[in-house]
Amino acid sequence: METLPCYKGLSPIVPLKTLIVDDEPVARKVLREELETIDDVVIVAEADNGASALDQIAAQEPDLVLLDLQMPAMGGLDVVRRLKTGSHIPVIVIVTAYDQFAVQAFEAGAVDYLLKPVSRERLAEAVERAKRLNTLEAAERVARIHEIAEPVPAQRVRRIIGRAREEYFLLGADEVYAFQAEGDLVWIWTAKGKYLATQTLKTLQERLRNTSFRRIHRSALVNIDHVRKMSTLSSQRWLITLSNNLEFIVSKRQARNVRQLLNW
């Protein structure tokens, strides 16, 4: 049976590939000069706007991104919201001149925040925190920032972390067809295939409360927006077919939930 691997933090002997993102040349210069005095850090690129930052993240696959929040056209939170996910998810450290924005981002999941002007001591602390963060923890933090980055709270998309081999993906809840538990593992079913969840079915159900997900079995949680067909097997037994042809038998205990679906 496949089990989740135990990821260790980034090794201090491996240089931390770092990307500096700030629209102010002086601010980038200060960060570069301070980073050059810190061991085990290599600056792979700089970006002066959000679009360039996304390009550099995709091209350089940095371990750490020092990200300015206030930039024209595309701010730091917009950059995080548009991150392409996969085998390499960077650690995000927020850099800002405004404390209220920094606190918001830090509470959302950024590993740290730096207030301008940035001191060498605080920068060194942020780098050390980034080194201790493992891949899964970085993905979870980015997922949390994704959620607060949506412009209107009512429209926020909950992000689910899925693993395929050694790659982590931030999945929008709306693209998930179902969660299916098999022993200690929980599989995430989407149109593109299945991923291994990083949380238990119970935790996922709690996170997705008041959404389109319904528990239909002790081992299954389905997205009713993707239900294509419901068939009766008996007076208390139902068969649900999703739009990807995945089928689930509803337990007697959860039959009431299915009857409620008939009225959607």
Q: Is the pTM of this model over 0.85?
A: no
* The pLDDT value given to residue 153: 46
Rounded CA separation 80/161 (Å): 15
Instruction: Decide if domain 16-149 falls under CATH 1.10.287.3510.
Output: no
Check if the beta carbon of residue 85 is closer than 8 Å to that of residue 169: yes
CA count, 13 A, side-chain hemisphere, 223: 19
* 247 strand-pairing partners: 241
Q: What is the CA radius of gyration of the chain?
A: 21
Check if the beta carbon of residue 248 is closer than 8 Å to that of residue 240: yes
Rounded CA separation 262/127 (Å): 53
Rounded CA separation 144/106 (Å): 10
Residue with tokens 């008041």: 210
* Alpha helices (runs of H) in 21-175, residue ranges in sequence order: 25-35, 50-60, 76-81, 99-108, 120-132, 135-149
Give, in order, the Cα–Cα distances in Å from 8 to each of 41, 114, 130, 166: 18, 25, 12, 13
* 222 strand-pairing partners: 178, 214
**Domain spans of the chain, in order of start:** 16-149, 157-261
Give, in order, the Cα–Cα distances in Å from 80 to each of 13, 61, 147: 28, 14, 10
* The pLDDT value given to residue 79: 87
Rounded CA separation 152/135 (Å): 29
CATH fold of the domain at 157-261 = OB fold (Dihydrolipoamide Acetyltransferase, E2P) (2.40.50)
* The pLDDT value given to residue 1: 33
Taking the chain (264 residues) in runs of 10, the rounded mean pLDDT of each run is 37 77 94 93 96 94 91 86 71 80 59 82 90 75 63 56 83 91 93 90 87 87 88 76 88 67 55
SS3 92: strand
At 102, phi and psi to the nearest 5? -65, -45
Output the CA torsion sign for 215, 216, 221, 227.
negative
Of the candidates 77, 196, 88, 67, the residue with the CA atom closest to the CA atom of residue 135 = 88
